[in-house]
Amino acid sequence: MLNKYDYLYNGEESLLILINPVIKLFGLFIYILLILLKFDRLLFIINIGLVFLLILLSNVKLTKYLKIIWKLKYLIILLYAYLYYKNLEIVEINIIIFKLIFLLMYIWVIIYTTNKEELSRGLSIILNKINLIGIPIKKITMFFINVYSFIEYFIDTYNEYINKIEREGKVFLDSNIFNKLVIFFKNFKIIWQISYRKLNLRKKDLKYRLFDTKEVSKYKYRRRLCLFDYLYVLINIGMIVYYILKVR
């Protein structure tokens, strides 16, 4: 069955949970910028090494990241074939593929170590800073938050509902993927409806503040930066400075 902890916020103790989501997104931007600029072997190694270090610090098993890549194996193979068709050298193709694979891993490091509320606030802050033409950032951000939340509710509901009907003896899950797909599509409508009701209830709670205000979040969103935030920024700025002075 689907497992929300495979592809969503992990919620485990890790150093990266302490880092401000704006800083994480800044690091992602620097990574994307560097993989698009002129290639440098040292920067490539540092960039890839930094992502691998973040994976280790995320306190999430490497196999979870590899599952994401495995899901996209056919797209990666097609991309490899396309680049080869364009007469690129094997070394160049491998570098491009490695950059994209580690970009995916970087994105999932952020997802695994940042809950959706903090991530949405971080995105809002960044988008508001660069919003020069009055784009309705709040509405756009809320749309993506709701999509993200609905996916999470859908996965949870799927697990709960399938477990319920299995306990009642209405279905028997086995290793046959075809049977699982049949069960999924037969119950898709009711799972969708339950998930949609949960999302609407969440919207109502947010609107009228019906959630538990006494609940304390250990890693609540912080306006002030900590030592790890500054260190994270310095590493990324250091790579940009190196590129400007030694590569450009």
Choice between 110 and 152, residue whose per-residue pLDDT is larger: 110
Q: Is 126 among the domain residues?
A: no
Q: Kindly indicate the confidence band of residue 209, based on its pLDDT and cuts at 50, 70 and 90.
A: very low
Ordered alpha helix ranges (H), the chain: 4-7, 21-36, 41-57, 62-71, 73-85, 90-113, 116-130, 137-167, 177-186, 188-208, 227-242
Give residue 131's pLDDT band: very low, low, confident or very high (50, 70, 90).
low
Do 176 and 88 sit in the same domain of this protein?
A: no
Query: What pLDDT does residue 138 have?
Result: 65
Residues 108 and 139 in one domain: no
- For 104, half-sphere exposure in the C-beta direction (CA atoms, 13 angstrom radius) is 18
Give the residue numbers spanning the domain of 3.
Answer: 1-115+221-248
In the predicted model, is pLDDT for residue 29 greater than 80?
yes
Question: What secondary structure letter does DSSP report for 217?
Answer: P
pLDDT over threshold 80, residue 203: no
User: Does residue 86 share a domain with residue 4?
Assistant: yes
Residues 184, 84 share a domain: no
Give a yes or no: residue 108 inside a domain. yes
- 130 or 153, which is more confident? 153
Check whether residue 65 and residue 36 sit in a common domain: yes
Q: Tell me, yes or no, whether 233 lies in a domain.
A: yes
More confidently predicted of 137 and 83: 83
pLDDT at residue number 28:
92
Better-predicted residue by pLDDT, 145 or 220? 145
Reported as a pLDDT band with limits 50, 70 and 90, residue 2 is very low
Given this model, what pLDDT does residue 80 score?
Answer: 92
Neighbours of 171 (CB within 10 A): 17
**Residue 217: predicted pLDDT:** 46
Per-residue pLDDT for 86 more than 70? yes
Mean pLDDT of all residues in 186-196: 87
Say whether both 104 and 145 belong to one domain: no
Number of domains in the chain: 2
| 10 in a structural domain | yes
* Same domain, yes or no: 236 and 197: no
Q: Within a domain: residue 125?
A: no
Residue 74 lies in a domain: yes
Tell whether 108 and 2 lie within a shared domain.
yes
Reported as a pLDDT band with limits 50, 70 and 90, residue 58 is confident
Q: Does the structure show a pLDDT above 70 at 46?
A: yes
Q: What's the rounded mean pLDDT across residues 181-203?
A: 83
Res. 223 pLDDT band, cuts 50 70 90? low
In a domain, 121, yes or no: no
Integer Cα distance of 188 and 13 in angstroms: 34
- For residues 19 and 38, membership in a common domain is answered with yes
Q: Can you tell me the distance from the alpha carbon of 199 to that of 217, in angstroms, rounded to the nearest whole number?
A: 21
Whether the per-residue pLDDT at 22 is higher than 70: the answer is: yes
Q: Quick check: 31 pLDDT over 90?
A: yes
5 and 106 in a common domain: yes
Whether residue 5 has pLDDT greater than 90: no
* Residue 30 sits in the same domain as residue 56: yes
Mean pLDDT of 214-237: 70
Taking all residues of the chain, what is their mean pLDDT, rounded to a whole number?
79
Residues 6+ apart with CB under 8 A from 183: 162, 171, 173
Query: 210 in a domain, yes or no?
Result: yes
Question: Are 201 and 231 members of one domain?
Answer: no
